[in-house]
Amino acid sequence: MTDKDVTPKVPFGSVLADQMVISSTVGGVFGAPHVEPMGPLPLHPGTHALHYGSSCFEGLKAHRASDGHVRLFRAPAHAARMRVSAETLCLPVPEYELLVEMMRTSVRANLEQVPESPGALYVRPTLLGVDPNIGAAATPSSEALLYVIASPVGDYFDSSRALSVAIETQLPRSTPQFGRVKTGANYAMALGITMRARAAGADQVLFAPGGDVQETGASNFMLLDDSRLVTKPLDGSFLAGVTRDSILTLARDFGYQVEEREIAVDEVLAWAAHGEAALMGTAAVVAGVGTFTHDGTTITVGNGGVGPNTQRLRQALIEIQRGESPDRWGWTELIEA
Ligand SMILES: Cc1ncc(COP(=O)(O)O)c(C=O)c1O
């Protein structure tokens, strides 16, 4: 077995690649990045991010094609989103080019650890406010640490099995101003709710505060059938997924009528009788929903399996990511040693 065959059977993200890429600010300006072996970071106990949550991150993937070539998927889109997160958190905002270059460097430095499909190298740029100041609750961190770590991963979900999804209508996953920010606090807010839903047998929670269907804990959400795809429009209240954007583009290209509009819980439940529902995200790729649980009732979506339109869009995306079909949108870039 070569290194590349070892698509991890361990939980997603729990094995880290050997090298990380780091850039620190001096006077709020990011310095030239360098590569160093994966290991603990020296952080002051008063680090702003540890106390006041001034941290954000990204998640994207590099895929190995059957010819061995490695392609990074939509790094520029992830860099752009990270800049929005940094700005909203009042952190020093890394230059767009620096972010993209550090993502590429991370993949290059860990090239031998990019697993074969269906595995991938999950790349995790992270930005921390590092001012050592525990009196800075209402003061932004003027200095920041930017690093990119990576993890060889397998599939987040078993793609052949449709997910059971609990619909949460009381509690939100985030706040109106932070939904579009990829920051740890949002995931912390969702955790207790997700753990309770898991204990009741659900795989994921679909957040629909006040009946407004938004997203799950780590993916965007869509309804689809043979001719239509329906998903909530980007309004800042949830994460603007790069996978969502890619799937909408592919769906339009296939001739689906794409409707970006508000979705009510009642529509989701009614849709289950005739259509499909799916999650989309870097980790989830495109994952079919088999059942919804709402107010103590479980409703099966279609025949409870992964629907044909979900499979079709998933497959189309994967083929582009792996370089098996033409990349007409310029989403992938080759990373070579
Ligand atoms: C809350 C949330 N929504 C949606 C997504 C999907 O975003 P993307 O497709 O860019 O991975 C993610 C994953 O990053 C997420 O954590």
What are 222-276's pLDDT values in tens digits? 999 999 999 999 999 999 999 999 999 999 999 999 999 999 999 999 999 999 9
The pick from 193, 220, 246, 313 for probing ligand 1's pocket by mutation, whose C-beta has the most ligand atoms within 8 angstroms, reads 220
Task: From the CA of 81, give the closest atom in ligand 1.
Answer: 10
Binding site membership of 239 for ligand 1 (Cβ less than 6 Å):
yes
Give the pLDDT of residue 173: 96
Instruction: Share the mean pLDDT of the chain.
Output: 95
The CA-based angle 43-48-51, given to 5 degrees, is 100
Specify the pLDDT at position 253.
Answer: 98
User: Which residues touch 145 (CB under 8 Å, ≥6 apart)?
Assistant: 22, 23, 24, 25, 41, 127, 128, 130
Give me the residues paired with residue 268 across strands.
Answer: none
> How far, in Å, from the CA of 278 to the mean position of ligand 1?
13
The β-bridge relationship of strands 163-168 and 204-207 is parallel
Quick one: pLDDT at residue 307? 97
Measured CA to CA in angstroms, residue 299 lies from 166, 209, 294 at distances of: 10, 19, 8
| Confidence grade of residue 32 (pLDDT, cut at 50, 70, 90) | very high
Reported as a pLDDT band with limits 50, 70 and 90, residue 4 is very low
CA dihedral (133, 139, 140, 143) positive or negative: negative
Closest ligand 1 atom to 244 CA: 9
| pTM of the complete model | 0.96
pLDDT in tens, 199-232: 999 999 999 999 999 999 999 999 999 999 999 9
Q: pLDDT tens-digit profile of 278-336? A: 999 999 999 999 999 999 999 999 999 999 999 999 999 999 999 999 999 999 999 99
pLDDT, tens only, 92-114: 999 999 999 999 999 999 999 99
Give the pLDDT confidence score for residue 7 in this predicted structure. Answer: 60
Ligand 1 mean position to 244 CA, how many Å? Answer: 8
* Cβ 124 vs Cβ 153: under 8 Å: no
Residue whose Cα lies nearest atom 16 of ligand 1: it is: 218
Ligand 1 atom nearest to CA at 242: 10
Domains of the chain: 3-153 (3.30.470.10), 163-321 (3.20.10.10)
- Evaluate: CB of 58 within 6 angstroms of ligand 1: no
